[in-house]
Chain A
């Protein structure tokens, strides 16, 4: 159950996508996501889907993993698509039953939306699959560094994000461990009414919170012992460098963006 959540997981590797500078990768991902929303017709979206497939191949992440990332969100995708079928009433009528009208426009929009959401999920999970959490937050911090005038704000927020991300797997592991320990004492988590199930979580969340607070204290002590005093004047162990590969990445994105804009204007009627 909880193990199915693959978003946010990192799979180390040496592919081109892995080697991109995190800052560039962040910008590329954001541009990619915006471009998905710019698409106005199937040709443009097709270009996006095609380039997404290219990116997946070059990242060497197995397609199985990518599909697993979509699985937990499948319901939302299908639901959204379904709504679109019934609420769009352009194009030819395909089916009519009482007040329900299904039109070609509706079906096209539904498919369009589904592809859009799926590409969105894949694009953002590719970022986390190929970039370690610390690199992501470091990248964000660097990108936001023009906002330094806001005193320590940027660094503090970035540090909080780093720590939070760092502790997600730890918390999941802890959650699993405590759940197992209580299950071993016969705790019933799977059946019963909603209230009963909520109550059944008490034996898990009380120890989880206590452990988390203890961890937070320990971490704070450890950081203070190493003279952590906030961001001012700190240097980094890993310097970020942009290289040729990043230029290729940016060029690739520019081509996609150009193509999408061109296709949007060339075929204004399709969808």
Chain B
């Protein structure tokens, strides 16, 4: 049974005004337990709207959302438990910090779950270690942290609820490359150690190619593709046509292939690129050596 399933999910913003707009249309997806799904799509394609349906923050205009096989809008109590089952971390989550100390802020979610003191304590420390925040950080005011640390504290606040599904909306936006890598590694380790399902919205194809097991492509409010990383990036041409980017390395190899160099155009990580190039040069170099 899939952990997340949507059926004909449609959502209209500003119904009944001249500004009515369908942010997502007829979305049918099924996501399996333990997957790390990268969600891509250009600005306004409905990514943020889609993920807000998965923990019941938005109520579908039409259609259904099933978490763990259960229709989340069936009754009121379901919705509450869904919030804890599916942890959602918004874009720029650092602006949601409000407590006096980082510890208290991370504890906000677990406290709302009604857990006892020792369990909260354990979870806060667990989450903090996942995001690499030390004991010293925990007793600080969240407003005294650096931008990247604030972001990590906010993500820890969601992780501390130990949701079955963790959803992050552009967790790396506005960070430098190092901060970006830190957060991505952290998410990867989190998934490996908790075996939970993770969904990441991102504009960086490189990150998605490196991290994800599956990719969901949204285009003009609908699902354009859903499949493994290999399947999706083998359709690089189509992705480019949707106004999306492919990883820079893919573009290099597509260019090379087009100019008649004997390489595959379907390379999307540096590792694969290295292998492909060494294959190519291996032939050439031996020839060169033989020539002299």
Interface residues of A (CB under 8 A from B): 11, 62, 64-65, 68, 177-178, 180-188, 202-203, 206-207, 210-211
Is B90 a contact partner of A207 (Cβ separation < 8 A)? no
Find the residue from A64, A183, A184, A188 having the highest chain B CB count within 10 A. A184
Known: A180-B57, A206-B98, A210-B143. Is A185-B157 also a contact (CB below 8 A)?
yes
Is A11 a contact partner of B157 (Cβ separation < 8 A)? no
Chain A residue with Cβ nearest B112: A186
Residues from chain A with a CB closer than 8 A to the CB of B97 are: 207
Q: Which candidate, B30-38, B81-89, B174-182, B256-264, is the interface stretch facing chain A?
A: B81-89
Chain A residue with Cβ nearest B84: A186
| Complex Cα spacing A185 to B161, Å | 8
| Complex Cα spacing A187 to B108, Å | 8
Task: Give the residue of A62, A64, A187, A206 whose beta carbon is less than 8 angstroms from that of B112.
Answer: A187
Nearest CB on B from A249, distance (A)? 24
| Complex Cα spacing A210 to B142, Å | 12
Residues from chain B with a CB closer than 8 A to the CB of A203 are: 96, 98, 108
Interface residues of B (CB under 8 A from A): 16-18, 52, 55, 57, 80, 83-84, 87-90, 93, 95-98, 108-109, 112-113, 143, 157-158, 161
Is A185 a contact partner of B90 (Cβ separation < 8 A)? no
Find the residue from A68, A185, A202, A206 having the highest chain B CB count within 10 A. A185
| Complex Cα spacing A183 to B56, Å | 10
Per DSSP, are chain A's interface residues mostly helix, strand or loop, or mixed? helix
Is A184 a contact partner of B88 (Cβ separation < 8 A)? yes
Is B18 a contact partner of A184 (Cβ separation < 8 A)? no
| Complex Cα spacing A68 to B18, Å | 13
| Complex Cα spacing A182 to B52, Å | 13
Chain B residue with Cβ nearest A65: B17
Chain B residue with Cβ nearest A181: B96
Chain A residue with Cβ nearest B83: A186
Nearest CB on A from B98, distance (A)? 4
Nearest CB on B from A128, distance (A)? 14
| Complex Cα spacing A239 to B95, Å | 40
Known: A177-B90, A184-B90, A185-B161. Is A207-B83 also a contact (CB below 8 A)?
no
Find the residue from A177, A186, A187 having the highest chain B CB count within 10 A. A186
Question: What are 13 of the A-B contact pairs (CB < 8 Å)?
Answer: A11-B17, A177-B90, A181-B90, A181-B95, A184-B89, A185-B83, A185-B96, A185-B157, A185-B161, A187-B108, A188-B112, A207-B95, A210-B143
Task: Give the residue of B17, B57, B80 whose beta carbon is less than 8 angstroms from that of A184.
Answer: B57
Known: A184-B83, A185-B112. Is A207-B96 also a contact (CB below 8 A)?
yes
Task: Give the residue of A11, A185, A188 whose beta carbon is less than 8 angstroms from that of B18.
Answer: A11
| Complex Cα spacing A62 to B19, Å | 12
Residues from chain A with a CB closer than 8 A to the CB of B108 are: 182, 185, 187, 203
